[in-house]
A and B are shown apart, each in its own frame.
Chain A
Amino acid sequence: MQFDTPATTNPIDNLKVVGQPIHRIDGQLKTTGRAMYAYEWHDPNMRYAYGYPVGSAIAKGRITSMDVSAAKRSPGVLAVVTTLDIGERKKGKFNTAKLFGGDEVQHYHQAIAVVVAETFEQARRSRAGQGRLCRGKGCIRPR
């Protein structure tokens, strides 16, 4: 763009578009609780499961093993997926933190597993009910 002629008034200066108190098109939906956020879409024909993340109890280190057998036996639990189940994954172009997968813990409460259960309360309980999924020396090596 060449700036070689005097600027004249434009639609922004005229405040014909910018600066007008135009109502947002989603306003009526958001203010009445009818706007559907991603989690809130509900198909009555589908059965839904609930996932609850398990956060690392250490801030930095490597996980050498995880024992999820007790979590898997908890009421309503359908599956437990741990970061060790997923191999280390390459970061995408815009990722800063590493993706879920692999054995490295980079920050406190980093998600190291997800518990999937039939209800939210069951998923939340089983993650905690087992204490840490990873117990004992050598299981997590803090750095």
Chain B
Amino acid sequence: MPSQTQLELSRRDLLISSAATIAVTGAVTPAAAQSPGNEMAHTSKVSFTVNGERRDLEVDNRTSLLDALREHLHLTGTKKGCDHGQCGACTVMVDGHRINSCLTLAVMHEGDRITTIEGLGQPGNLHPMQAAFVKHDGFQCGYCTPGQICSSVAVLEEIKANIPSHVTGDLTAQAVVTPVEIRERMSGNICRCGAYSNILDAISEVAGIKA
């Protein structure tokens, strides 16, 4: 069971900082990223950091970042739900921003710092958001859960960074965490099991507000 202290936070920095990230050495080649010696091949080499660890790959150019993570790096925490950017199960963090990894190519991410659900926390050492999802039962089958958790961590960061949303009242005021804001900002993550109300409870607890 996660300790209570892991949940007693509200305003501390939520994202696992990449301060400990190994700096990726080697400049990005501005022009071709093709495999050397292979004139216009359909594969390319690419290097990026995943959960603090540098990974070097050579992949079919068509490989989505999602498939690079799941099939090539065997980080299967990130899930393929629709493969078309409509469900959010593939949500990961790239350079601190949440994106749908199914709608981007692995080769487009040279030098990027990627955080997946595995990087947020591990069993026995849960990220506060992960612990909150367990405490509030924010899942059933668990397939949307990694995307939900990555998104919710990013949502709280986006509010802190004063990014507005569709339900933000005053555009010129600092964005605030409210249940309505959380619901709107999480609308890119769908859940067939319908765990939404508990997901809202989990995020609200981490944000330090009432759901």
Chain A residues with a Cβ under 8 A of chain B: 21, 23-24, 26-37, 39-40, 42, 119-122, 125
Tell me the complex Cα distance, A88–B133, Å. 46
Tell me the complex Cα distance, A26–B123, Å. 10
Verify A26–B120 contact, CB threshold 8 A.
no
In the assembled complex, 8 residue pairs joining A and B whose CB atoms fall closer than 8 Å, in A order, are A28-B126, A30-B139, A31-B126, A32-B122, A42-B74, A120-B71, A121-B63, A121-B67
Name the B residues within 8 Å of A37 (CB-CB): 76, 143
Name the A residues within 8 Å of B30 (CB-CB): none
Interchain nearest-CB distance for B72 vs A (Å): 10
The total of chain B residues at the interface (CB under 8 A) is 33
Verify B60–A32 contact, CB threshold 8 A.
no
Total of A-B residue pairs, C-beta within 8 Å: 75
Interchain nearest-CB distance for A47 vs B (Å): 13
Verify B62–A121 contact, CB threshold 8 A.
yes
Q: Which residue of B lies closest to A119 (CB)?
A: B60
Q: Check if B137 is an interface residue, CB within 8 A of chain A.
A: yes
B 1-52 contacts with A by CB, 8 A: 1
Name the B residues within 8 Å of A30 (CB-CB): 139, 142, 145
Interchain nearest-CB distance for A20 vs B (Å): 11
Name the A residues within 8 Å of B189 (CB-CB): none
Verify B77–A34 contact, CB threshold 8 A.
yes
Which of A31, A119, A121 has a CB less than 8 Å from the CB of B145?
A31
Q: Which residue of B lies closest to A26 (CB)?
A: B142
Contact A32:B76 (CB < 8 A) given known A21-B135, A23-B1: no
